[in-house]
Structure 1
Amino acid sequence: MAKQEEVKLLGVWNSPFVCTVKWALKLKGVYYENIEEEDLLYSKSELLLRSNPIYKKVPVLLHNGKPVIESLNILEYIDETWPANQMMPQDPYERAMARFWAKFADEKFMTSSFEAFAASEEEKQKKAQVAAVECLRFLEEHLKGKPFFGGETIGYLDIAIGWIAHWLQVWEEAGSMKIMDPTKFPSINVWMKNFVESPVIKDDLPLRDKMVLVLQENRKTLADFYKM
């Protein structure tokens, strides 16, 4: 990376979206300054509000002072800006499919999984669990026969949905519920283990016990905040 380039990442330590960006930067060998927000539920820094005035969320990548927002958008920006260790498939169809599955995991699977954790009513939790398990079935079928979603090595889709390999188990423990059954989803189970043991990934995973404790302490607040 050229010396005049300045890369900063605005985030919080336990955000799966922020971690996907950290993984991508590490995969590319890009040095960056990590800037932690203290408490997004109750306060946001002036830098964050200036950098992302529309959504007021992390992550925000600041590249030479220019903000790039939304995690999936940031991943593609990183891949195009620093071409080493290309994450996206070269084939146009495969690229389109990678984008589709990344969006599916964010909009369908993450939403239902987090709802299952945070739901204030048992009926709502069970409904969210059923929806999350159905999403896993689709992902299991898509992964079959491959060590990674990207093929033989970690690619864009692995990075984009890598939160499944760490955060899902945290939500299950903190919410006293179960979504991931290794016997039903053997390919996903192997992928999860391979992913978190990758040198690019394992040193940038938030401490599981700390995350569980924080989530348990803030479960009601989160449920109210997201109206669950």
Structure 2
Amino acid sequence: MGSEEVKVVSFWVSPFGKRVEWALKLKGIEYQYIEEDIFNKSNLLLQLNPVHKKVPVLVHAHKPIAESFIILQYIDEIWKQYPLLPQHPYQRALVHFWADFGERKLLDTSWIAMCSSGDDKEEALKVAREAMEKIEEEIKGKKFFGGDNIGYLDLALGWISYWLPVFEEVGSMQIMDPLKFPATTAWITNFLSHPVIKENLPPRDNMLVYFHGRRKALSSSFQGWFKV
């Protein structure tokens, strides 16, 4: 079952899609990458993900799986080499908690802060910085959230290492103060130094152009993340 053809439908700058690609590469799984134009969605995407109509979508054995966190868990259950999730149910529950926390309290608010101004921006920055404080405590004393090796939570929070600095530059703001968050800063260095990660990142200059354009288009309304 695990050896059947694997495809990833994604968008070049999507951190959600990169999670999926990183997971497959860590496990040594070959896959076909299909770039999706999220501004002119293909019939393929609409067929594979008719409910949300978003990327990424993993196709394995001709069956589509949507939503990056669900895909990560699926990958970990299908291909047992290089486990991403801990074995103990309590530790697995904690990993899922922090992945959801990072999405809701840091990713969403960082995006809002980048795209907004005035009181909306300041409120979003406040929540994002408070979330960073919690994440800093969680990573203290560890090389990776997964311990000595990159795990599920590292992939879930991996966008912090590369996308967040772009958001900060585009939004003229600071969330990740290296002096205030030294453990997270060290984790970022470790994460970006891993061959699978550093060799599979979108070009930063292109990201800046893209996100400047998104910020201008979206103005102060939190819409359209990678879903238009």
> TM-score, normalized by length of structure 2?
0.94
The answer on 1:82 being equivalent to 2:72 is: no
3-state SS of the aligned residue for 2:30? coil
Q: What is the aligned residue count?
A: 224
Residue 58 of structure 2 corresponds to residue 72 of structure 1: no
Show CA shifts across 1:183-215 (max 9, x none).
111100000111011011100011111101111
1:225 is displaced (CA, Å) by 6.5
- Cα distance in 2 for residues equivalent to 1:225 and 1:112: 9
Structure 1 residue runs without a partner (length 5+): none
2:104 is matched with 107
Q: Is the 8 A contact 1:150 1:157 kept in 2?
A: yes
How large is the Cα RMSD of the aligned pairs?
Answer: 1.6
Match of 2:120 among 87, 108, 124: 124
Q: 2:177 aligns with which of 167, 181, 190?
A: 181
Q: Partner of 1:140: helix, strand, or coil?
A: helix
Residue 136 of structure 2 aligns with which residue? 140
Note if contact 1:174-1:213 (Cα within 8 Å) is conserved in structure 2.
no
SS at match of 2:74: helix
Distance 1:222 1:211 in 2: 16
TM-score computed with the length of structure 1 as normaliser? 0.94
Structure 1 counterpart of 2:140, one-letter code: K
- Aligned equivalents of 1:204, 1:190: Cα separation in 2: 20
Cα shift readout 1:128-157 (whole Å, capped 9, x = no counterpart): 111100000010111111111011111111
Shift of 1:227: 8.0
SS in 1 for 2:9: strand
Q: Does 1:226 align with 2:227?
A: no
Secondary structure of residue in 2 paired with 1:89? coil
Q: Which runs of 4+ in 1 moved over 4 A?
A: none
1:61 aligns with 2:83: no
AA aligned to 1:24 is A
- 1:150 and 2:149 equivalent? no
Runs of 5+ unmatched residues, structure 2: none
Over 3 Å counting, the alpha-carbon distance change for 1:2 and 1:147 in structure 2 is closer
Cα distance in 2 between the residues matched to 1:13 and 1:222: 19
Give the Cα separation in 1 of the matches to 2:218 and 2:89: 39
Partner of 1:35: 34
